[in-house]
Every structure is written in structure tokens, then in C-alpha cells.
Amino acid sequence: MKKRLMRLGCTLLMLPAAMAWAGDFKVTLLGTGVPNPRPDRFSQSTLVEAGSQKMVFDMGRGVSIRLWQAGIPMGSINAHFLTHFHSDHTIGVPDLWLTGWLQPPYGRRTSPFLIYGPKGTKALMDGLQSAYADDIKIRLVDERNPPAGIAVDAKEFEAPAVVYERDGVKVSSFVVDQGDDIKPSVGYKVEYRGRSVVMSDDTRLSSEVVRQATGADLLIHEVAVIAPDLLKRSPSFQRIFGHHTSPEEAGTVFARAKPKLAVYSHIARYGDAATPAPPEDAIVQQTRKTYDGPLLLGEDLMQFDIGETVTMSRIPASRNP
């Protein structure tokens, strides 16, 4: 028996890396949109599964619904991370926190809701705890849900910093640039067994994203397009568009960083009644002016397997576990 185990051990050591890695590092886009309340693109959220760890980065609208579709119980998420405090990145926090505590199979959190973010994260969670105090009080008495599962463990950091390290998974934060009024604002890099995923967060063209994503397996980047007439006549849209990255600019980030795969999420298309927003196709076309490498326009429930190569599959939206 001992001999057989030793032989098995040697065989595992000799397996090609791709097989040894199969399925141990996955990224699922839970929300690829912006504040627009569209059912096909919920607002920003990304699930990263690496080894034993399940982590959610930003919790926009519908995050709990997409986790349900992905078959991931909310209570099984080990750690949650915020990039900044725009509502399209945080509005799903109370849903995930509160619903994830309920005891049906989709919830079942029994340990504190662990959340990391820049300064402001504790205030957000304190506010939610007072806003929902009556709900929590009633469910503790009535449903007898485990008290530890509704507790909050909010940890703030100042980027750049290594934020989380567990079971070989390392999450680090870096500073991105949304302009002077939107600070703090951070992106994240997740590293696991020699592979990495970088998430840009909302940012203008950022050399820090290039630096972080150089040699990365997967770069998830935001993007924004706007109808040219609207940009010309609207100071408010000039300000909003000024916080984001155009497809041509994102292409220069991808061309310099050369990730194995670049994927757009947080896809912003601005228009109004007089000047419709540019179509989604325009985003890839415009990117091609500056970048000719591997690129996908992200969709909710797209899943990426980070092995020796990066492969994409889709979780069916109709899935009802």
C-alpha cells in the first residue's frame, strides 16, 4: 500500500503542469455592467476561486443572483473585497451579507462576514449594521440563525498592500486613478501557484495597471465609450468619461502588459435620447486600433479557467440549482 502511494505521489509530480492545475484557479464574471439597471449586465462583481479560497471582488447589483446561477452558496465565500465606494460596486453588499446568513443551502454563513477595502469600508459596514438592526434582532430570536454568521469583520488597508494571504493565495492591492475626487480607489491582483489575475477597478489609463498586469494570465479591465456629440455638449458626461478608460487607451495597456487574455468588464456605454450610445461591437473594434492580442468583451457568467492557458466557458443563465 505504502509503495503504491509512493508511486502515485511520483506520478502526480510528473504530471504536466496543465493537468496538475486543472480547475484550481477560476474567475467568474458576476456583473459586467455599470449603474444602468439592465438584467443582462448586473453591476460590477467578480468571483475568484483559487485552491480552497472563494473570493468576491466588488458587490454590485445582483451579485447574490449570479452566485446562485453559478451554484456557489453565499455563505461559502471566504473573503469579500471592495475597490471604492460608488454604489454600482457596493449595492449588493447588504444582500450578500444578510441573505448569505439565512440557513437554506444558498446561504449558511456561520462565521463573520470578512470584508476588505480602503478607508470607508468600516463606516459602510457600521451603517449597514444599524440600518438592518431590527431584521437581525428578529432573525436571531425567531429563526435562531447562528449569531457569528451575521457578525462583520471589516478590515481597512492603505494601498499598495498585501491584503490577504491564505492557503497559497495572495491578494494584493494597488492604487488606480479615477481622478482627484474619487479616492481611495484600488485594483487587485490575485496570485496562486505561479499564475495571476489582475482586476483594474474603475480607472483612467493607468501605468500602474500595466505594471501589475505585465506577465499576468488574465487582466480584467474596465472600459467606457460615449457618443461623440454627447461628449461635446455635456460637461457632466465630460467629467464622468474623464474617470474611465477608452477602448483605444485600454488597448495600449494590453499591448504593453501582454496578459495571456484581456477581458473587459464594467462596460460603460454613454448616450442619451438624442445621441444613442455606441454599440458594444464598437468597443472591440476601437480596441483593435491599438492592440491585436487575445481579447474578449466580458459577459455576466463568463468563466475563465486559469491553467497553462486561459480558457473561457459560459454558465447558462437559465441554471437554477
Q: Interface residues with Zn ion (CB under 5 A)?
A: 86, 88, 202
Q: Which residue is nearest to Zn ion (CB)?
A: 202
CB closer to Zn ion out of 87 and 111? 87
Q: How far is the CB of 274 from Zn ion (least distance, A)?
A: 24
At closest approach, how far in Å is the CB of 204 from Zn ion?
A: 13
Q: Which is nearer to Zn ion, 177 or 202 (CB)?
A: 202
The CA distance from 210 to 216, in Å, is 10
> Which candidate, 125, 116, 96, 120, places its Cα nearest to that of 108?
96
Closest distance to Zn ion from the beta carbon of 193 (Å): 31
Amino acid type, 135: D
Q: Could you give the 3-state DSSP secondary structure of residue 78?
A: coil
Residue 58 CB, shortest distance to Zn ion, in Å, is 8
CA distance linking residue 15 with residue 164, whole number of Å: 30
In 3D space, the residue among 46, 93, 77, 311 whose CA is nearest the CA of residue 198 turns out to be: 46
Give all strands of the β-sheet with 161-166 in edge-to-edge order: 161-166, 169-175, 186-192, 195-199, 218-226, 261-270, 295-297
Query: Which CB atom, from 202 or from 300, has the smaller least distance to Zn ion?
Result: 202
Q: How many residues appear in the chain?
A: 321
Query: Cβ closer to Zn ion: 43 or 145?
Result: 43
Q: Which is nearer to Zn ion, 91 or 210 (CB)?
A: 91
Q: How near is the Cβ of 241 to Zn ion at its closest, in Å?
A: 13
